[in-house]
A = this chain, B = another copy of it.
């Protein structure tokens, strides 16, 4: 339509120099009239890049992850990448599907928040493709990650309870297949031992999944123990909030009868009554940094793992 070759059109589209003003105008005019849109598949096929980032999360329902995703998305878009958000539900089959998208070059790189599944597969994937781990990680494959010091954070959280005079502190933990669960438990135990408090196994409860109902159930179970705890450290705000619900429905007061502290600082944690003391994770930054890391990796640069700061947010539940 503009009376030029495809090469010239390509030059115009990609803003190359060496195109005369006149032809450039003609081509741009034609593009407008035809509503022409370059086919991304063909472009990617030629360039062998897709400018797509895969993001694997265990569950989209957890506000902790959605905040991370906000960080990833903003940074990715800024750098000309779009994200492909995939929920694995910790299901190996789903994970396999998404790993194949990477092998197929449908996406240039992958950010993973759930490496509990299929360790070997992950390591093998990372050998050939750009991979970054966010929050959860596995040292094994030498895959870079961004996370916080979970053990220290848990230690400080429990220490805060101890400083308030608490001596009977229970732990509501999630599945210890997750690294954070193992680390936070270690922090919990360290704080207790340091204060000369015994570690009561009847005060440690493991939930299978994350969800308010699991927190409720955990609390229900802990309230049936002979020697009642007077404080709770839950490894997730979600669990803590469920537990609070159960405590209140038994007619007990927070923090007077039972104090409770959560983890993550999801926005809902400030809406409960009383408001929940918690450990803030820099979720947005974690996402944003993950995105920068994966893009650098895609570009062939070397990237270093990083451990970000957390912060204890003291509110009314302790």
B-contacting residues of A (Cβ < 8 Å)? 37-42, 44-45, 50, 60-61, 63, 66-67, 69-70, 73, 77, 82-87, 94, 97-98, 100-101, 103-106, 211-212, 241-242, 244-245, 248, 267-268, 270-273
How many angstroms from the CA of A267 to the CA of B66 in the assembled complex?
Answer: 16
User: Judging by beta carbons under 8 Å apart, are B84 and A39 in contact?
Assistant: no
Q: Residue A39 contacts which of B63, B104, B267, B271 (CB distance < 8 angstroms)?
A: B104
What are the residues of chain B within 8 A of A67 when measuring CB–CB? 61
Q: Which residues of B contact A272 (CB under 8 A)?
A: 271-273
Between-chain CB contacts (< 8 Å), 18 pairs: A37-B104, A39-B45, A40-B105, A41-B45, A41-B50, A41-B106, A60-B66, A60-B85, A63-B63, A70-B87, A82-B86, A82-B97, A83-B86, A84-B84, A84-B85, A248-B273, A268-B268, A268-B271
Q: What residue in chain B is nearest A44 (Cβ atoms)?
A: B41
CB distance B77 to A94 under 8 Å? yes
Q: Is the CB of A41 within 8 A of B73?
A: no
Complex CA gap A101/B43 in Å reads 13
20 more CB-based (< 8 A) A-B contacts, given A41-B44, A77-B94, A212-B271: A37-B100, A37-B103, A39-B104, A39-B105, A40-B105, A40-B106, A41-B41, A41-B105, A60-B69, A60-B70, A61-B267, A69-B87, A70-B87, A82-B86, A82-B98, A83-B86, A85-B86, A241-B268, A268-B271, A271-B272
Inter-chain contact B77/A97, CB cutoff 8 Å = yes
